[in-house]
Chain A
Amino acid sequence: MFNEMKTDDQVREPYRALVEWMEASGPEVLEQKRLEAETLFRKIGITFAVYGEGGDPERLIPFDLIPRIFTAGEWRKLERGVKQRARALNTFLYDVYHNAEIIKAGIVPAELVFKNAAFEPAVIGIDPPRKVYSHIVGVDIVRTGPEDFYVLEDNCRTPSGVSYMLENREIMMRMFPDLFKSLRIEPVEGYSDMLLKTLKSIAPNKCDRDPNIVVLTPGAMNSAYYEHSFLADQMGVELVEGQDLFVSGGRVYMRTTRGPERVDVIYRRIDDDYIDPLCFRSDSVLGIPGLMNVYRSGGVAICSAPGAGVADDKAVYTYVPDMIRFYLGQEPILNNVPTWKCGKPDDLKYVLENLGDLVVKEVHGSGGYGMLVGPASTKEEQVTYAERIKADPGDFIAQPTLSLSACPTFVESGIAPRHVDFRPFCLVGDNIRLAPGGLTRVAMREGSLVVNSSQGGGVKDTWIMAE
């Protein structure tokens, strides 16, 4: 296992100043700071609700004080790799909703795209502004060694967690002003401004003024509601629910105390299925009837575009390196994790024979639900899971259990290494923008590889050291 702070008892270079500071401060000071941080989070109300688990609907995500640090060089590679991926994924989306060259070329199988539940026939042939579908791409990256980074998955729809990137930094700067003064850490606070620029740059064709932007949330009961309100607040735009919007005369309006007000760009944090009950799920009360008609006629921009989900399917994921070669003529800068597709008979056989060593995931699942972590599972769990795979092999993929890197983390017994991953948020509009940072998630249980906050994972601040 690669420990990001120490190799062979030598503190790695980016962590040196931090370790010196921690040793000088002593455990009591650190414990005090930890308590202060928790109080701050609770007071501000940064919380995360977990669906279907009962208990406190506003549980705190555990915040770990010890930051995760990248050197400038490491970041340069990650940055180039993430931008490359975001560009390829958007090109792929435009392609599959238009000429489907990549399918004609025999690189991606047709049924994988066209029979995919996330493929949206309603947007075939539509040109979204600047041909961008996924305006915010969250790329989940893990590390297994000093030079070894792998992309675990792409999130092209509505990746969440960026508010933690921003708030974690706020809290850290409040707790450790000295460290920020003496070290040169790249600031992340430009993100909100980049997001606003990106959203403005994708105003629809019919928009003839400074676009009116809104953030569309399913409401206060949604697990990421805090983030929705935070981003709206940071950008200074309205946070709306479906009930606040309506369609009239080919445009979208919001209900205000002055009467109707036109909306040009919708940054929606609602799934495709729910945005328009006339076009998608008729039982949805979250959406806006008629929205898709306005979208089709260029009266409103929707971010991410409906149908973007087909690019972040776990089966499509396996083809992203091929997309990069096909569309951009480049070699992928970041590698995929080797993946077995259970839909292929040979792969299925291998997976069933090696369940104890693999991580198996549902192709359409997200949030760490419904996966099997082989080495951490019992024989019984493996047998039960094998039955599920056999029932519908095409719904599952498997990957080797990577030895994820670990970062020192506060736990009950003191400071101990815990596994981490990393999600930077890449913005795509008139430009491709990436704030120097991201969300580091940490598995709080010893040995656990599951970092999802819905499964008890925590978060850390991520420091990119300036050159």
Chain B
Amino acid sequence: MLSRTADNLFWLSRYVERAENMARLMEMGYRMALMPSTGDGNRSEWESVLSASGCQGGYDPNAPLRQEEVANFLIFNRDNPSSIINCFEAARASARAMRTAITAEMWEALNNALMELRRPSIHNLAKNELPEFIDWVKRQGSLFRGTTDSTLLRNDGYDFIRLGTFIERADNTARLLDVKYYVLLPETSMVGDGVDNYQWTTVLRAASSLRAFHWVYRDDYSPYRIAHFLILNPFSPRSLAHCSEHITQHLERLARHYGQRRPVHGQAVEMYSLLTQSDMEEIFANGLHGFLNDFQARNRALSAAIAETYHFGGQ
């Protein structure tokens, strides 16, 4: 297929996933803010959300770090390239640039989402009923993935779409964990108390994984297990291991389809091995933050290698 089409498919699904992940981050902030004040020295929940979103730089330093302002920035701000509305604008623009490569159902899912977001009434929903709005965004992501799953030809285009989804999702799960571990509660004295545990379960909730976690580990909410669930457990659909497994599989499919193995395939396998061969004790001992940073750097490098290998951007 055209390189430009592959490029568009890859980024289209990344943007949809990113919009959904922004919503998940806000869900985490919203729930954490429901807890009674955690005392001095803690940074505000919404500041953490902003920081984890990776778009703090664009936020007006004089604006208050409250739900209304931060949420508005993350949802509707046109100058924030990762705001939910910009994600959907970018996704739809990519879709429009290669209408022939996606199905009518996928197009409708994206087109309807953006039409709704452009309507003034959605602002009230986001302002007054943030959880409702967050659910709405997650539904749009599900619709897009669902229509992709049920209508798209399983050709190379499908692989590029799925690669975009899992690379973006892995990045997001790493961010969610990092915000909890590094940004939200840096003081060691507080680790392990009631607030700390509540925050860990909130991370699970944001990853839609609370019930799944119960099934796997029963009722023990130790940070260790939660981190294990979201990093190393291959059955958890948002874990780094699971995302990495899918990335490897879709790259393998491309290698078979094109009859060409390239350095990018080795790179993906290496990232996957890192996750299958580590254990949590080791990760915690060496520092979770460092581990997550390293993973994110590898994930970014992999994304760049995919772009290079398949000639994205007219190379």
Contact = CB atoms under 8 A, between A and B. Distances in A.
A45 B107 CA distance: 9
Interface in A254-291: 254-259
B111 A257 contact: no
Contacts of A238: 1-2, 100
B2 A44 contact: no
B100 A44 contact: no
Nearest to A226: B99
A233 interface: yes
Contacts of A233: 99-100
Interface stretch (B15-23, B90-98, B167-175, B237-245): B90-98
B43 interface: no
A43 B3 CA distance: 27
A103 B311 CA distance: 51
Given A45-B107, A255-B311, A244 B97 contact: no
B26 interface: no
A219 B156 CA distance: 23
Contacts of B115: 42
Interface string A236-266: 0011110110000000001111110000000
B258 A257 contact: yes
B4 A219 contact: no
Contacts of A45: 96, 99, 107, 111
Nearest to B111: A45
Interface in B133-171: 156
B3 A239 contact: no
B108 interface: yes
A244 B314 CA distance: 7
Interface in A209-253: 219-220, 225-226, 229-230, 232-233, 238-241, 243-244
Contact of A255 (B3, B112, B258): B3
Interface in A35-49: 42-45
Interface string A427-441: 000000000000000
A232 B98 CA distance: 10
B257 to A, nearest CB: 9
A219 B4 CA distance: 12
B4 A244 contact: yes
B295 interface: no
A206 B107 CA distance: 39
Interface size class of B (residues with CB under 8 A): 20 to 34
B310 interface: yes
A233 B104 CA distance: 11
A282 B99 CA distance: 30
A44 B112 CA distance: 10
Given A43-B108, A43-B111, A45-B111, A257 B96 contact: no
A226 B100 CA distance: 10
A396 B124 CA distance: 55
B6 interface: yes
B98 A257 contact: no
Nearest to B160: A257
Nearest to B100: A233
A256 B1 CA distance: 5
Contacts of B4: 241, 243-244, 255
A13 B52 CA distance: 71
A215 to B, nearest CB: 9
A220 B93 contact: yes
B2 A256 contact: yes
A256 B3 contact: yes
Interface majority SS (helix, strand, loop, mixed), chain B: helix
B314 A243 contact: yes
Contacts of B1: 238, 256-257
Contacts of A243: 4, 314
B111 A255 contact: no
Interface in B1-50: 1-4, 6
B104 A44 contact: yes
A451 B194 CA distance: 71
Interface string A14-43: 000000000000000000000000000011
B109 to A, nearest CB: 11
A229 B258 CA distance: 26
A44 B156 CA distance: 25
Contact of A257 (B6, B93, B108): B6
Nearest to B101: A239
B97 to A, nearest CB: 5
Contacts of A219: 97
Contacts of B310: 257
Contact of B311 (A42, A226, A257): A257
Contacts of A230: 99
B159 to A, nearest CB: 10
Contact of B96 (A220, A244, A258, A259): A220
A240 B2 contact: yes
Contacts of A225: 96
A243 B315 CA distance: 10
Contacts of B112: 43
Contacts of B314: 243-244, 255
A258 B156 CA distance: 10
A440 B98 CA distance: 28
A243 B111 CA distance: 26
Interface string A367-383: 00000000000000000
Interface string B236-254: 0000000000000000001
A265 B310 CA distance: 24
Contacts of B254: 257
Interface of B: 1-4, 6, 93, 96-100, 104, 107-108, 111-112, 115, 156, 254, 258, 260, 310-311, 314
A-B pairs with the 9 shortest C-beta distances?
A229-B99, A257-B310, A233-B100, A255-B3, A220-B97, A220-B96, A257-B6, A243-B314, A258-B258
Interface of A: 42-45, 219-220, 225-226, 229-230, 232-233, 238-241, 243-244, 254-259
24 contacts: A42-B115, A43-B112, A45-B107, A220-B93, A225-B96, A229-B100, A230-B99, A233-B99, A238-B2, A239-B99, A239-B100, A244-B4, A244-B314, A254-B2, A255-B4, A256-B2, A256-B3, A256-B311, A257-B1, A257-B3, A257-B6, A257-B156, A257-B254, A257-B311
Given A220-B97, A257-B156, 9 more contacts: A220-B93, A238-B1, A239-B98, A239-B100, A243-B4, A244-B314, A257-B1, A257-B6, A258-B258
